[in-house]
Amino acid sequence: MAVKKTLMLVGDYVEDYEAMVPLQLLQMVGHRVHTICPDKLPDDSVRTAIHDFEGDQTSSDGSLVTALAGPPRLDAQVSRSARHSHRVMMRHAVFVYGTLLRGEANHHLIGGAEYLGPHRTAPCFALYLLGAYPGAVRGGRTAIVGEVFSVDGAGLRRLDRLEDYPRLYDRHWLRSPYGRAWIYLYRGSVRDRELIPGGDWRRFAADPDSLRAAGVRRARDPKTRRRRRIGASAAAGARARLLTDPGPGEIATPPGHRASCREAVA
């Protein structure tokens, strides 16, 4: 039997028996099957749904697929939609406070995202200067100024790569006027790092009277060489924890304040 090439179009939570079973059967007899899904990158996972006979219960598992732009000279094309169509295009709210802000060096990574609006966090953080970009940590008494965007799955994965998640930065839920939003918190050491006053990166970097800000404006690197070097030291000292102790120059937070911060950041 000649080998056939089939392209399968799927969505998250596609019925397992309509996608995975045909895919595996075709592969068993030697055919090549490629799958693509909205908002998925190569080698991403597509979740499949398994329903009982009465349609009341749903469970899901991850199925690793290869996402392609579309192989040439196809012999067949199959389309399988999700049982719950609203889950195919999942959105994620993300709070950004540094080089991802509008007008900053890395904003192009979320240029197609939906801008939800400005936000100032609860005074539960400290914002440090890490070269040409900032890093927020919990445990301070600073409210961070930033913006909230809605990104799709592919957009969130781009941000994860930029922030070197979960090695250099970690993701936590943050309360915002637009619902829960992700915030990236720095995991490395902040010893001897300079605090950014007022938690406002944009104002700090634009200050015309600050020699330190002028150096930042000249550097403005998009977390490439510097983040790899910083990430190596961060992984050695903070691989499995998030810094929560007050850093140099911070005021220790009282227990009641820390309790309210736990409610603001999950």
In one-letter notation, the amino acid at residue 230 is I
Mean pLDDT of 160-172: 94
pLDDT in tens, 244-253: 333 333 334 4
- Output the pLDDT for position 31: 85
Q: For tokens 């990104």, name the residue.
A: 151
Q: Is the pLDDT of residue 97 over 90?
A: yes
Lowest mean per-residue pLDDT among 4-13, 95-104, 117-126: 4-13
Q: What percent of the chain has pLDDT over 90?
A: 37
**Three-class SS of 31-50:** CEEEEECCCCCCCCEEEEEE
| DSSP 3-state of 75 | coil
Per-residue confidence (pLDDT) for residue 158, from 0 to 100: 92
The per-residue DSSP string of 88-132 comes to: SS-EEEEEE-STTSTTSTTGGGGTTSEEEEEEE--S-EEEEE-SS
Q: How does residue 195 score in pLDDT terms, banded at 50, 70 and 90?
A: very high
Question: Do 82 and 13 meet the contact criterion of CB atoms below 8 Å apart?
Answer: yes
Q: The tokens of 203 are what?
A: 């104002």
Q: Report the candidate in 51, 44, 52, 53 with the shortest Cα–Cα distance to residue 12.
A: 44
Active site residue 194: no
Nearest in space to 223 (alpha carbons), one of 164, 183, 182: 164
CATH topology of domain 5-87: Rossmann fold (3.40.50)
CATH 3.10.490.10 in the chain: give the residue spans: 91-264
**Which residue is listed with tokens 């190596």?**
232
Q: Which of 88, 92, 121 is nearest to 201 (CA)?
A: 121
User: Among candidates 23, 243, 261, 55, which has minimal Cα distance to 141?
Assistant: 261
- The DSSP symbol for 84 reads S
Predicted confidence (pLDDT) at residue 121 exceeds the cutoff of 90: yes
**236 contacts: CB under 8 Å, gap ≥ 6:** none
- Average pLDDT on 42-68 reads 56
Backbone angles phi, psi at 179, to 5 degrees: 95, -175
Q: How far apart are CA 14 and CA 19, in angstroms?
A: 7
Given this model, what pLDDT does residue 234 score? Answer: 42
**Angle at the Cα of 185 (from 156 to 240), degrees rounded to 5?**
100
Does 126 score more than 90 pLDDT? yes
Catalytic residue among 18, 163, 194, 263: 163
| Between 227 and 4, residue with greater pLDDT | 4
Q: Residue 224: is its pLDDT beyond 60?
A: no
| 58: pLDDT strictly greater than 70 | no
Pick the CATH number of 91-264 from 3.10.490.10, 3.40.50.1370, 3.30.230.10, 3.40.30.10: 3.10.490.10
Higher pLDDT, 92 or 82: 92
* pLDDT (0 to 100) of residue 61: 46
Average pLDDT over residues 138-151: 95
The CA distance from 188 to 202, in Å, is: 22
pLDDT of residue 116: 95
Across residues 81-101, what is the average pLDDT?
73
Predicted confidence band of residue 41 (pLDDT cuts 50, 70, 90) = confident
Q: Where in the chain is the domain with CATH 3.40.50.880?
A: 5-87
Please tell me the pTM assigned to this model: 0.58
Q: Whole-angstrom Cα distance, residue 36 to residue 52?
A: 26
Confidence of residue 218 (pLDDT cuts 50, 70, 90): low
139, 244 Cβ separation under 8 angstroms: yes
Whether pLDDT at 184 is above 90: yes
Q: Name the phi and psi angles at 117, rounded to 5.
A: 145, 175
Output 24 or 83, whichever has higher pLDDT. Answer: 24
* 19-39: average pLDDT: 83
The closest alpha carbon to 33, from 21, 17, 50, belongs to 21
Region 186-206: mean pLDDT is 93
Residue 226 near residue 188 (C-beta atoms within 8 A)? no
